[in-house]
Amino acid sequence: MEHKNTKQRYNLPDEVVFCKKCTISNQRPRITFDENGICSACNFAEFKKNKIDWTEREKELMALLDRFRRDDGRYDVVVPCSGGKDAAYIAHELKHKYGMNPLTVTWAPHLYTDIGFQNLHNMIRVGDLANILGTPPGKTHKKLTKLFFEILGDPFQPFIYGQANFPLQVAVQHQIPLIMYGENGEVEYGGDMKNAFKPTRDYKSDQKTHYFSGVGPEDLIKYGVSEKDLVPYMPPADDALDALKTEIHFYGYYKKWVPQENYYYCVENTGFQANPVRSEGTYSKYASLDDKIDGFHYYLAHIKFGLGRCTSDTAHEIRDGHITREEGVALVNKFDGEFPAKYFQTFLEYCDITEEYFWEVIDSWRAEHLWTRVDGEWKLRHKISDGKVSDQVA
């Protein structure tokens, strides 16, 4: 299979450099580092800790909600939501603390895990929240999953389309102009910082580069996907969103965003349950639990950028002050890039591919400057260290 030139495609720097404060490296697309070797996400976390007046920000939130709150019984805010802890926290707080009438909107995972489905159900029942679930047709979704595994090295892409566009569709159908997302991932986790100091996101610009890795659903026609099949993945027309005066806001701009605290809030208020066992590739039990496929999304990130699920979990927790960098490095060296074996057969059956073909695709996405073959086994050339030993291993 033809190699995908991962380095060139994502414009990855030749030399791997790790942030001095967290565990992320300069291989994360669009991340920037300052002259002291600190990543943009760490600098932003520091800024949030010291420079933001959260009482002021809450006042801004209340002014925003006053502008959109309805007293005629209609829904007044869309909260896109997988059933996970973050959106459940937002929707519950909007309803029970700020007196809004939220409609939670869920785009179904490829294959629900039991715990993911239970958490969605609990959010509705225990959290007392209305919900609309969008589910694309099964065969089309499988076909797209396989396609994206091959052409983008990310089987999760069809999910990402729906996650971004289905809430917009529902907003138009129900004439709800306010959409509230959780964190601005681009800003919080390292990426393009141009939106760091504003609460909103434009639904027209940046969607394709920041969320869709440069490939929008409309581009799939050339891969033989029919317009009919693409309907569930498409955004509503711009003029429909303009007419509604749609605004997309981030709750993380108004309220201090600490995933671990969202978790405790949801255990208390929306019946949220963590996994009894840690997720493969990391040590955590409460993030991204809904989809049997998502382990492969994280695994491919490890193949393409050398950054797995444990790197992103530890980077967040270091920035939130829950663990030290030294602890983070130890966890990364233990868990990052662990193969998601639990649902491997499920994934092969879902995509209708053989194990041999799976590895061909994986190897075609292996970033050439990051991986080397030693005694028939693929190894990362670089390894994060806690500063006590050399960063170079090969």
Contact, 8 vs 27, CB < 8 A? no
Number of residues assigned to the chain:
394
Measured from the CB atom, is 51 or 245 closer to Zn ion? 51
- Find the angle CA(63)-CA(65)-CA(69) to the nearest 5 degrees: 130
Q: CB of 49: closest distance to Zn ion in angstroms?
A: 14
Contact, 26 vs 13, CB < 8 A? yes
Cβ–Cβ contacts within 10 Å for residue 354, how many? 10
Measured from the CB atom, is 152 or 384 closer to Zn ion? 384
Distance CA 372, CA 380 (A): 6
Measured from the CB atom, is 42 or 230 closer to Zn ion? 42
Distance CA 243, CA 98 (A): 26
Measured from the CB atom, is 42 or 370 closer to Zn ion? 42
For residue 353, report the phi and psi dihedrals to the nearest 5 degrees.
-130, 160
How would you classify the pairing of strands 247-250 and 200-201? Answer: antiparallel
Distance CA 297, CA 5 (A): 18
Measured from the CB atom, is 176 or 384 closer to Zn ion? 384
How would you classify the pairing of strands 377-380 and 371-374? Answer: antiparallel
Measured from the CB atom, is 40 or 169 closer to Zn ion? 40
Measured from the CB atom, is 136 or 259 closer to Zn ion? 259
Q: CB of 23: closest distance to Zn ion in angstroms?
A: 8
> Three-state DSSP class for 48?
helix
Q: Rounded to whole angstroms, what are the CA distances from 245 to 171, 239, 242?
A: 11, 9, 5
Measured from the CB atom, is 17 or 160 closer to Zn ion? 17
Cβ–Cβ contacts within 10 Å for residue 315, how many? 27
Measured from the CB atom, is 163 or 312 closer to Zn ion? 312
Q: CB of 22: closest distance to Zn ion in angstroms?
A: 3
The binding site for Zn ion (CB under 5 A) comprises: 19, 21-22, 39, 42
- Spatial neighbors of 104 by CB under 8 A, at least 6 apart, are 78, 79, 80, 81, 87, 88, 91, 123, 124, 129, 130, 131, 132
Q: CB of 336: closest distance to Zn ion in angstroms?
A: 16
Tokens describing residue 66? 């006053």
Q: CB of 190: closest distance to Zn ion in angstroms?
A: 7
Contact, 192 vs 97, CB < 8 A? no
Contact, 280 vs 342, CB < 8 A? yes
